[in-house]
Structure 1
């Protein structure tokens, strides 16, 4: 264990001081707000942000247009279904009226035949 070296308090203070100085140098090395590179990066970020916002607005308008189209299609489909339902109901009503008319005609024919038989029976007596 001859390679082991116990660091003392002064060594630790020196290391901490070096770390503080390195951080200070990094902060001082950062470009200022009026540096052309910083201004260019800021403008690029703003352009990206504006493009992102424009794409978001376009997606939103597309979504709204799709919803309007779907609502229009739904209303047209419901109108067609309503029209078809009304046509079916009218056809059913006409069929019921025809059925009632045929029933009434059948009853009238049956009554006429019955009356004829009754009259023939009366005439035979």
Structure 2
């Protein structure tokens, strides 16, 4: 049994030729690069690309400035922490030195007292 849409070779060939003609007509009707409309579209694309590039450069500048600000803050914080650490170390060292000085002074006082007692004993004996 034959299908009703079963076209013969010649009919398929004519259909293909007609499709090619329509495709060529479509491309022939397309605007050329020299048309004012195409020139306007191209100019609009270029302006958009330029604006996009300017916004990107501005964002990068802002990011760079923010990064530099954060680096400066971090450097200030590190310097403050270092100064605080140094002050604490100096305070601890001063406390140790004070304690050592008191121990030496106490030891000297004890020795002086011992020497005084020894001298008093010698004076009583002789």
TM-score normalised by length of structure 2: 0.87
Deviations 1:28-73 (A, max 9, x none): 0111122121111111111110110000100111111111111111
Instruction: Note the aligned Cα RMSD (angstroms).
Output: 1.8
Aligned to 1:64: 64
Aligned to 1:31: 31
Give the total of aligned pairs: 125
TM-score normalised by length of structure 1: 0.88
Runs of 4+ in 1 over 4 A off after TM superposition: none
CA distance in 2, matches of 1:67, 1:39: 42
CA distance in 2, matches of 1:90, 1:5: 102
More displaced, 74-83 or 41-50? 74-83
CA distance in 1, matches of 2:121, 2:25: 134
Aligned to 1:49: 49
Cα displacement (A) at 1:3: 6.4
Aligned to 1:16: 16
Aligned to 1:104: 104
Cα displacement (A) at 1:114: 2.5
The runs of 5 or more residues in structure 2 that have no matched partner are: none
More displaced, 77-86 or 2-11? 2-11
